[in-house]
């Protein structure tokens, strides 16, 4: 499994520690809510689940998870087709992100 990193955040902040801290603070604030919304909807409302995946996939990209981002795209498309194919892989990605973000 890919490992989360802050390379994209570091590149965006270009050495500006205040901006970097704001990006990380935003990530730490938004991710837990989106995480909960995803799990509240999965298996109940596939449209809302797809919307959650759409929001979360951007954070996947921000954390440098390129292959995981591609998996999220496929999972989102599957959800829109009323399929849960890719659910287990996506939830492993979320777990990985959850632990990484909590350590930032």
Q: What is the mean pLDDT of residues 21-28?
A: 97
- Give the H/E segment covering residue 68: helix 66-80
Domain boundaries, the chain: 7-103
pLDDT of residue 74: 98
Count other Cβ atoms within 10 Å, centred on residue 42.
18
User: pLDDT digits over 38-94, tens only?
Assistant: 999 998 999 999 999 999 999 999 999 999 999 999 999 999 999 999 999 999 999
pLDDT of residue 34: 97
Class of domain 7-103: mainly alpha
pLDDT of residue 13: 96
Contact 79, 49 (CB under 8 A): yes
Question: Taking the model in full, what pTM does it have?
Answer: 0.93
DSSP at 15: T
* pLDDT grade for 97, boundaries at 50, 70 and 90: very high
Which one, of 48, 46, 62, 49, lies nearest residue 97 by Cα? 62
pLDDT of residue 1: 80
């Amino acid at each position: 499994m890919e490992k989360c990193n802050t390379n994209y955040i570091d590149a965006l902040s270009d050495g500006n520690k205040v901006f970097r801290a704001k990006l990380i603070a935003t990530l730490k604030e938004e991710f837990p809510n989106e995480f909960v919304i995803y799990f509240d909807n999965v298996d109940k409302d596939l449209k809302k689940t797809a919307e959650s995946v759409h929001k979360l996939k951007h954070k996947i990209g921000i954390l440098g998870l390129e292959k995981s981002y591609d998996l999220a795209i496929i999972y989102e498309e599957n959800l829109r087709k009323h399929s849960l194919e890719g659910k287990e892989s996506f939830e492993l990605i979320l777990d990985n992100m959850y632990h990484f973000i909590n350590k930032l």
